[in-house]
Chains A and B, each alone.
Chain A
Amino acid sequence: MTDPLPSDLGRQLGLRDDELEMIRGTLGRDPNRNELAMYAAMWSEHCSYKSSKVHLRTLPTEGASVLVGPGQDAGAVDFGDGVAAVFKIESHSHPSAIEPYQGAATGVGGIVRDIVSMGARPVALLDPLMFGPLGDERNRWLLEGVVAGIGGYGNCIGVPTVGGEVRFAEAHSANPTVNVMCVGIAQSDRLMTATTHTPQLGSLMVLYGSTTGRDGIGGVSVLASATLEDGSEESRPSVQIGDPFAEKLLIEASLELIEEDLLEGLQDLGGAGLTCAVSESAARAGLGARLDLDQVPLREEGMEAFEILTSESQERMLAIVHPSKLERVREVCEKWGLATAVVATLEAGGDLDVSMAGEQVAKVPALSLTEKAPEYDRPMRPIPTDHDDPTFVSFDGDLREAVLSLLASPNVASKRWVFEQYDRMVQGQTVAGPGSDAAVVRVPGTMKGLVLSVDGNGRYGTLDPYLGGAHAVAEATRNVAVTGAKPLAITNCLNFGNPERPEVMWQFSEAVRGMRDACLALDTPVTGGNVSFYNESGGSAIWPTPVIGVLGSLTDYRLRLPSGFPSPALAVYLLGESFAELGGSEFAETVLGRVAGVPPALDLDAERRLQDLLHEAAAADLLASAHDCSDGGVAVALAECAILGGHGFAVTLAGDLPPHVLLFGESASRVVVSVAPEREGSLRGLAATRGVPFERLGETGGPRAVIDGMLDTTVIELAEVWEGAIPRLLGEKP
């Protein structure tokens, strides 16, 4: 502790000068090297949410079904019958940009441990991804690596990957967006929450799982809280390495410890490693802790205190155990071949007191690392809206060709190439997997289905971040509603550029405002989430992309509505109203080559009425199928219904709008449904009562896909284009 510190060490670690002053004020002295490393990690944007907290606080977080809101490892909602559904989404974009396989793999590992630390068994994973265009070799390498990493890890731990989305935009070339959502289920009375489990003075902190090495040091501060610039490959040592086998053992051992009621608390080791787990656990209990680094099992020799304190080595958990239960905890871990070490004791006083080789190496108030981290209301500057709207551009191109180019657009095309690399059926509960509007996973022992979707639209976000945020909530919940389910709550992953730039901060606050309005209108509280800032290079940021993960409930999974037309001779209806809206559309980008204009308006009351109608109509068994109308408008929605169900259609799109606007406009709050003829009357009656506009478009059946005067082709041709697009872009045989 006597070595003089380099004067700019704080800055090198990512701390600002005024933050250093705050630390000096708290300690009443200069921090030493170890303490600096601890503060730098815990006060990093990634861990502290210091730029986002002030905005996130405005989101609605309470609701009848919410058991655990933001602030814990994951949110939880009451699923009835004594079952709690636990879910959260997180980003691992920064490490994935540098080392796609390990970056994505460890992203899966981290979010799974978050779910386990709430006492839940992970039952589903969903992966929203964004990359640059596939014409570029590096983007192909990133896509292939990220998908292989998600599969390589997820497939090996026995948690099915049941959904996700993949989008492409030039703005995500240098900085791909890699988000992972995990869902778990627990007995409500076994949830590990701050209220149900109270760590006691004198209880022990037991570190179990993998050993601690030098990997991932500075992951949260160097990597996740700064922009990537040239030479970012040098940050590769800050990327963690995943060991899914160890994770699988960790899951089983942890669930057994919880089942036997052996724990007072459980926390995973993720960002900021041991420092975060010990300080958060102690601070939450209103206590301090004495941490002995000599007890930490190390992977390599000669590790210094600050390295052990901030290592982000994967597959480690910290349990809080009453001394009387220690022996049994050790036995359970041993059964699963996991090493245990008592590394700390909970003490009075609130300090985190760290020693190594008999010497005190750090002593800081635990709360100063966690709740008392700095908080900023950063300056904002609005970006003017682009009013050069493509809606009013005339189009005299071939409509059939336009439909086919939209189906071949990688944003729209089948993602089979991606999801066939994921085990979607392990655990045996996947009723609907990837490729559906929303995934449906059974809750074992009940008729209930967890209904899960993720959605984000960066193109809307960049044109109007308020609408981007609101649409993400509306579309993600609509994807759940089209299965007939009721959306219960959401989690969000907010992917943005550098928050120190006022324009980015404005985009962020607008997106949050949009999400807030939509969540209030749709009665879907936010139970937690993650913010990923600094997704930019050379001053150019990713599209502001709020990704929303939704958890919904089906009381009887057998009543799930499919997306595709299930049989011939059904009536096809469009629910919702169509307007002249091509701003920010897939058509404008893919066919006209323009990302411009204003995204579609969003009438949140109309959205609510539509979603309630879907829920009610499905419960009354009035519908044969339902599919959300989004990218590519009605034309793409109809084509997908035909491809997925294997039945063609003959419909007419009427209205005063030009044909290309009718076909490709992306007006919100619309759904294509199919209905048995004998139920049409009931559906029309219900829609009228609920105030949802509807239009009968035609019928299903036959091998052809016909939109009167606009499109006449076969379902087989549509399917070949849609299925073959991504393999072709990757240079493979479809």
Chain B
Amino acid sequence: MSARIGVVTFPGSLDDRDALGAVELMGGEGVPLWHADPDLKEVEGVVLPGGFSYGDYLRCGAIARFAPVMEEIRGFATRGGPVLGICNGFQILCESGLLPGALIRNRSLRFICRIVHLRVETTQTPITADVLPGEVLEMPIKHGEGQFVASEPDLDRLEDSGRIVFRYCGPDGDVSDAHNPNGALRGIAGIRNEAGNVVGLMPHPEHAVDPDVGPTGGQALFASLLSSVMAGAGR
């Protein structure tokens, strides 16, 4: 039996097929979910993929949080189900209040598509459980609004409670402004909720699983997610 991972398609989602493909490539079962669906088809994990949900004309993720499927996902997350938000998915999680902070326009004011390095800051999440702390993963970013911001007290809390999951870094794991592509505060590329089951990140692990088309830093994250789900199911 393989882990059933749902991938939500909102109108305007773009990387939904890629996320389904990554789940399948890593040995899971990808289950397409539709934004207007009121049920999650008994999935054991949920991915909110990248894209421009509903056009993102108001504010990234601002409309998607009202989608019928989000009500279900909120409940799923409260019950401890693993939820991974990638790029626009991260933005939606912040807008929904499932994660703190916000993502604003890159400091260059331009869209950036680039391969970056991430340092794993905590293994206390379903997608990093099988990764070594401090491990450096290579994967792409592609976003116009990926600069993570939060108030100083919120940032301190994130930091103190070990909820920063990824930071932008150099190939050797050094975190510095030179390796920060979008101006994210404290180099933050991804965070988790208090319970650890909800994770959002701007980079795209689903575009880093197939060595023929890019780096492979996403493999470890999807493998972790799938084994966390299987372990959870066995409990």
Contact = CB atoms under 8 A, between A and B. Distances in A.
Given A151-B111, A420-B113, A425-B214, A245 B54 contact: yes
A425 B55 contact: no
Interface in A228-247: 243-246
Interface stretch (B9-17, B66-74, B153-161, B220-228): B9-17
B55 A156 contact: yes
Given A158-B51, A425-B140, A558 B212 contact: yes
A681 interface: no
Interface string A416-446: 0001111111111111000000000010000
Interface in B171-209: 204, 206-207
Interface string B99-131: 000000000001111100000000000000000
Contacts of B39: none
A425 B110 contact: no
A230 to B, nearest CB: 31
Contacts of A558: 212
Contacts of A419: 113
Interface secondary structure of A, over-half rule: mixed
B142 A423 contact: yes
A687 interface: no
A558 B54 CA distance: 37
Contact of A430 (B55, B111, B213): B213
B214 A244 contact: no
Contact of A245 (B17, B52, B142, B144): B52
B213 A155 contact: no
Interface residues of A, number: 31
A501 B54 CA distance: 48
B207 A431 contact: no
Contacts of A427: 17-18
A442 B206 CA distance: 17
Given A151-B111, A244-B55, A426 B11 contact: no
A51 to B, nearest CB: 38
Contacts of B11: 245, 248-249, 336-337
Given A245-B12, A428-B21, A557 B112 contact: no
A278 interface: no
Interface size band for B:
20 to 34
A156 B210 contact: no
A148 interface: yes
Contacts of B18: 426-428
Contacts of B110: 148, 151, 420-421
A428 B213 contact: yes
Nearest to B57: A245
Contacts of B213: 425, 428-431, 442
B14 A426 contact: yes
Most buried by A among B12, B56, B207: B12
Contacts of A420: 110, 112-114
A152 B55 CA distance: 11
A427 B114 CA distance: 16
A564 to B, nearest CB: 16
Nearest to B212: A431
B24 to A, nearest CB: 12
Interface in B22-69: 51-52, 54-57
Contacts of B214: 425, 430
A427 B16 CA distance: 9
Contacts of A425: 113, 140, 142, 204, 207, 213-214
Given A422-B111, A425-B207, 12 more contacts: A157-B14, A245-B56, A245-B57, A248-B52, A249-B11, A421-B110, A421-B111, A423-B14, A425-B113, A428-B207, A428-B210, A430-B214
